[in-house]
Structure 1
Amino acid sequence: MINKIRMAELTSEEARQALTAEAVVLLPMGSLEDQGIHAPMGDYLAADLMAVEIAKAARAEGVATFVAPVIPFGGRDYFDSSHGGISISHATLCGILDDMFACLNRHGIRKVMIVNGHGGNVPAITEVTLRWRQKAGLFVPSMYLWQVAYGELPGLIGPEQAAKSSGHGGDPLTSVGLHFYPDLLRPDLIRPAPEGAEIKGLAISGFNTVTVDGARIQVPIEALEATETGAFGCDPTLCSAETGDRLVARLAAIGATLVRDHVAPGLHD
């Protein structure tokens, strides 16, 4: 098996030899938005590195796994208020995914898995993967990293701490960042998320919700109106590189199992 993992590093001859019908390709996706005033905006950095970790773990199981170039811009949502952030429309993101699937499918590369790091990408992923299943029998699973991580955190650090540290701008991404690229974070800026934000006399309960008589109601607000620090509903001071180490190992194991037992054998209709 060739040592190179990233598709971009393959020569054209290496690609012809390595990217066969048996190869698995991981497609990392993320965003460029406010991840908390202490953290780098590009969560696609973590998604890309996480895809490499999954590929390494899958290769250790004997599966030829490669990582496609990351899609760095996320689907547009309430994080458009992030200063310096760049997002793209749902239609544009669908178009990018469509074109990538078409190119891979043309060359017989049909064992594909998405490694996603942004909630705003989910609608486009759902639309495009369903379309390709219907028209070409392509069955592409998507591992939404942080959604999986939220479910794993209580078992890794305990339910009580997980409840306090989990949230946008906190766990899992801040701890994962402390594992992958600690030099890019600003520990001096880490502080608990602000509370008590309101809009039009209503208590803000999420990045696109308010609370009315105990019920959460969706409203057209932006992230900056919910929190001035990018963190919401969590205490990022509880995040740590140790938690990040454990999360990365667990996510890599889950991803490699999915690749080995399901993607590599073929999931086509």
Structure 2
Amino acid sequence: MIDKIRMAELTSEEARQNLTEDAVVLLPMGSLEDQGIHAPMGDYLAADLVALEIAKTARADGVATFVAPVIPFGGRDYFDSSHGGISISHATLAGIIDDMFACLTRHGIRKIMIVNGHGGNVPVITEVALRWRHKAGLFVPSMYLWQVAYGLLPDLIGAEKAKKSSGHGGDPLTSVGLHFYPDLLRADLIRPAPTGAKVKGLEVSGFSTLRYDGVNIQAPIEALEATETGAYNCDPNLSSAETGEKLVARLAEIGAGLVRDHVARGLHD
């Protein structure tokens, strides 16, 4: 098995020899948006690095796994208000994923898994994956990293701490960032998420919801209206490189297991 893992680093001859019908390709994607005033905006950086760890772990199990170039721009949502952020329409993102699937399958590469780092990508991934299953029998699972990580945190750091540290701008992404690229984070800007935001006289209860009469109501609000620091419902001070290391190890283990046990086998019934 060739040592190179990133598809972009393969020569064309190496691609012909190694990107066979037995190879697994991981497609990392994320976003460029406010991740908290202390953290780099590109969560795609973390998604790309986690995909690399998944591939390394899968290779240790004997599965020829490669990482495609990361899609850095996320599907447009309430984070479009992020200063300096770049997002793309759902139609554009769907077109990119569509075209990537088409290019890979043209050459017989059908063992694909998405490694996603942005919630706004989820509906688009679902739409495209279903379309390709219906028209070509392609079955592409997607691992939404931060959703998985939220579920892992209580066991890794304790339920009480996880409840306080988890949230946008906090765990899991801040801890993962402290593990992968601590030099890119600004410790001097870390602070607990602000509270008490209101829009149109109603309490903000989420990035897309307002609270009325004890229930959440969907509303067209923007992230900056929910929090001026990018952090929401969490304390990023509780994040740590140690937590990030534990999270990455488990994400790599889970992702590689899915690759080994299912994706590499063609996800047969």
**Corresponding residue number in structure 1 for 2:35:** 35
What is the correspondence of 1:176-195 to structure 2 with a 5 Å cutoff? 176-195=176-195
**Corresponding residue number in structure 2 for 1:231:** 231
Letter in 1 for 2:253: A
For 1:138 and 1:94, how far apart are their aligned partners in 2? 16
Q: CA deviation at 1:42?
A: 0.1
CA contact (8 A) 1:193 1:227 kept: yes
CA contact (8 A) 1:34 1:230 kept: yes
How many residue pairs get aligned? The number is 269
For 2:265 and 2:76, how far apart are their aligned partners in 1? 34
Structure 2 residue 63 is the aligned partner of structure 1 residue 63: yes
1:59-81: CA deviation from partner (whole Å, max 9, x where unpaired): 00000000000000000000000
For 2:231 and 2:268, how far apart are their aligned partners in 1? 40
Q: CA deviation at 1:268?
A: 5.6
**Corresponding residue number in structure 2 for 1:152:** 152
1:195-251: CA deviation from partner (whole Å, max 9, x where unpaired): 000011100000010111110111000000000000000000000000000000000
For 2:164 and 2:35, how far apart are their aligned partners in 1? 17
SS in 2 for 1:113: strand
CA contact (8 A) 1:175 1:240 kept: yes
SS in 1 for 2:262: helix
**Corresponding residue number in structure 2 for 1:253:** 253
What is the correspondence of 1:170-209 to structure 2 with a 5 Å cutoff? 170-209=170-209
Unaligned runs of 5+ in 2: none
What is the correspondence of 1:1-269 to structure 2 with a 5 Å cutoff? 1-267=1-267
Letter in 2 for 1:97: I
CA contact (8 A) 1:138 1:268 kept: no
Unaligned runs of 5+ in 1: none
SS in 1 for 2:143: strand
CA contact (8 A) 1:111 1:266 kept: yes
For 2:175 and 2:110, how far apart are their aligned partners in 1? 33
For 1:20 and 1:123, how far apart are their aligned partners in 2? 29
CA contact (8 A) 1:22 1:264 kept: yes
Letter in 2 for 1:87: S
SS in 2 for 1:170: coil
SS in 2 for 1:26: strand
RMSD value over aligned CA atoms? Answer: 0.6
SS in 2 for 1:211: strand
CA contact (8 A) 1:94 1:124 kept: yes
For 1:59 and 1:224, how far apart are their aligned partners in 2? 42
For 2:43 and 2:144, how far apart are their aligned partners in 1? 12
For 1:185 and 1:83, how far apart are their aligned partners in 2? 17
Aligned-residue sequence identity (percent) comes to 84
For 2:79 and 2:72, how far apart are their aligned partners in 1? 15
For 2:27 and 2:127, how far apart are their aligned partners in 1? 16
SS in 2 for 1:59: helix
Q: CA deviation at 1:267?
A: 1.8
Letter in 2 for 1:3: D
For 1:205 and 1:62, how far apart are their aligned partners in 2? 46
TM-score, with normalisation over the residues of structure 2? Answer: 0.99
SS in 2 for 1:264: helix
